[in-house]
Amino acid sequence: MVLVIMAVVAVGMVMFVLAADANMMIFQSDTARLKAAQRNLTASALAWARHNIKNTPAESLDKTVNLEAPELDIPAAAVAVTITAPAGKNPQAQITTSATRKRRTLKSQNEYNLAQ
Protein backbone atom coordinates (compact mmCIF):
# COMPACT_ATOMS: atom_id res chain seq x y z
CA MET A 1 0.00 0.00 0.00
CA VAL A 2 2.86 2.36 0.80
CA LEU A 3 4.41 1.69 -2.61
CA VAL A 4 1.16 2.60 -4.34
CA ILE A 5 0.91 5.88 -2.42
CA MET A 6 4.54 6.72 -3.23
CA ALA A 7 3.93 5.92 -6.91
CA VAL A 8 0.87 8.21 -6.97
CA VAL A 9 2.89 11.02 -5.35
CA ALA A 10 5.75 10.52 -7.84
CA VAL A 11 3.33 10.57 -10.80
CA GLY A 12 1.74 13.75 -9.42
CA MET A 13 5.12 15.48 -9.14
CA VAL A 14 6.07 14.45 -12.68
CA MET A 15 2.73 15.74 -14.00
CA PHE A 16 3.29 19.05 -12.19
CA VAL A 17 6.74 19.48 -13.76
CA LEU A 18 5.47 18.50 -17.23
CA ALA A 19 2.56 20.95 -16.99
CA ALA A 20 4.91 23.79 -16.00
CA ASP A 21 7.24 22.98 -18.91
CA ALA A 22 4.30 22.81 -21.33
CA ASN A 23 3.07 26.24 -20.19
CA MET A 24 6.55 27.69 -20.66
CA MET A 25 6.77 26.21 -24.16
CA ILE A 26 3.38 27.69 -25.07
CA PHE A 27 4.48 31.09 -23.77
CA GLN A 28 7.72 30.95 -25.77
CA SER A 29 5.98 29.82 -28.96
CA ASP A 30 3.40 32.62 -28.62
CA THR A 31 6.24 35.12 -28.15
CA ALA A 32 8.04 33.81 -31.24
CA ARG A 33 4.83 34.00 -33.27
CA LEU A 34 4.16 37.57 -32.16
CA LYS A 35 7.72 38.65 -32.99
CA ALA A 36 7.49 37.02 -36.43
CA ALA A 37 4.16 38.75 -37.05
CA GLN A 38 5.67 42.06 -35.98
CA ARG A 39 8.63 41.58 -38.37
CA ASN A 40 6.24 40.71 -41.22
CA LEU A 41 4.06 43.74 -40.52
CA THR A 42 7.07 46.05 -40.39
CA ALA A 43 8.57 44.64 -43.59
CA SER A 44 5.25 44.93 -45.44
CA ALA A 45 4.70 48.48 -44.22
CA LEU A 46 8.23 49.48 -45.19
CA ALA A 47 7.81 47.98 -48.67
CA TRP A 48 4.49 49.78 -49.02
CA ALA A 49 6.06 53.09 -47.93
CA ARG A 50 9.01 52.74 -50.35
CA HIS A 51 6.65 51.94 -53.21
CA ASN A 52 4.22 54.76 -52.46
CA ILE A 53 6.75 57.51 -51.70
CA LYS A 54 7.36 57.78 -55.45
CA ASN A 55 3.66 58.27 -56.25
CA THR A 56 2.60 60.33 -53.25
CA PRO A 57 2.09 64.07 -53.68
CA ALA A 58 3.65 66.29 -51.03
CA GLU A 59 0.20 67.34 -49.74
CA SER A 60 -0.64 63.83 -48.58
CA LEU A 61 2.54 63.38 -46.57
CA ASP A 62 2.45 63.56 -42.75
CA LYS A 63 -0.85 61.65 -42.70
CA THR A 64 -1.20 58.30 -41.01
CA VAL A 65 -2.36 55.43 -43.20
CA ASN A 66 -3.72 52.28 -41.56
CA LEU A 67 -2.86 49.26 -43.66
CA GLU A 68 -5.07 46.18 -43.72
CA ALA A 69 -3.24 43.66 -41.54
CA PRO A 70 -5.81 40.84 -41.96
CA GLU A 71 -4.88 40.80 -45.65
CA LEU A 72 -1.43 39.65 -44.49
CA ASP A 73 -3.04 36.64 -42.75
CA ILE A 74 -2.15 37.96 -39.30
CA PRO A 75 -5.33 38.05 -37.21
CA ALA A 76 -5.69 40.63 -34.43
CA ALA A 77 -2.94 42.84 -35.85
CA ALA A 78 -2.73 46.49 -36.83
CA VAL A 79 -0.15 48.51 -38.74
CA ALA A 80 -0.02 52.25 -39.38
CA VAL A 81 2.43 54.19 -41.56
CA THR A 82 3.21 57.90 -41.49
CA ILE A 83 5.52 59.22 -44.22
CA THR A 84 7.32 62.47 -43.50
CA ALA A 85 9.66 64.47 -45.69
CA PRO A 86 11.61 66.99 -43.61
CA ALA A 87 13.11 69.85 -45.59
CA GLY A 88 16.56 68.95 -46.87
CA LYS A 89 16.41 65.40 -45.55
CA ASN A 90 15.49 62.02 -46.91
CA PRO A 91 11.86 60.96 -46.46
CA GLN A 92 11.15 58.85 -43.40
CA ALA A 93 8.43 56.39 -42.50
CA GLN A 94 7.17 55.99 -38.98
CA ILE A 95 5.73 52.48 -38.66
CA THR A 96 3.55 51.48 -35.72
CA THR A 97 2.62 47.82 -35.34
CA SER A 98 0.52 45.86 -32.89
CA ALA A 99 0.02 42.09 -32.84
CA THR A 100 -2.13 40.19 -30.36
CA ARG A 101 -2.27 36.50 -29.48
CA LYS A 102 -4.50 35.33 -26.63
CA ARG A 103 -3.93 37.84 -23.81
CA ARG A 104 -0.54 39.12 -25.00
CA THR A 105 0.04 42.14 -27.22
CA LEU A 106 3.34 43.21 -28.76
CA LYS A 107 3.56 46.82 -29.91
CA SER A 108 6.37 48.67 -31.64
CA GLN A 109 6.98 52.06 -33.17
CA ASN A 110 10.08 52.77 -35.28
CA GLU A 111 11.27 55.25 -37.88
CA TYR A 112 12.95 54.15 -41.09
CA ASN A 113 14.84 56.12 -43.71
CA LEU A 114 13.30 55.81 -47.20
CA ALA A 115 16.41 56.88 -49.14
CA GLN A 116 16.72 55.23 -52.53
> Domains of the chain: which residue ranges?
2-113
Q: Which of 96, 37, 38 is nearest to 66 (CA)?
A: 96
Mean pLDDT in the chain? Answer: 86
- pTM (predicted TM-score): 0.78
Longest dimension (CA), the chain: 85
pLDDT at 101: 84
Residue pLDDT, tens place only, 32-85: 988 998 999 999 999 888 888 877 666 667 788 888 877 667 778 899 999 888
HSE (CB half, 13 Å, CA atoms) of 24? 6
Helices (H), the chain: 2-52
Q: Which of 92, 96, 106 is nearest to 65 (CA)?
A: 96
**Mean pLDDT in residue range 75-99:** 87
Residue pLDDT, tens place only, 11-25: 999 999 999 999 999
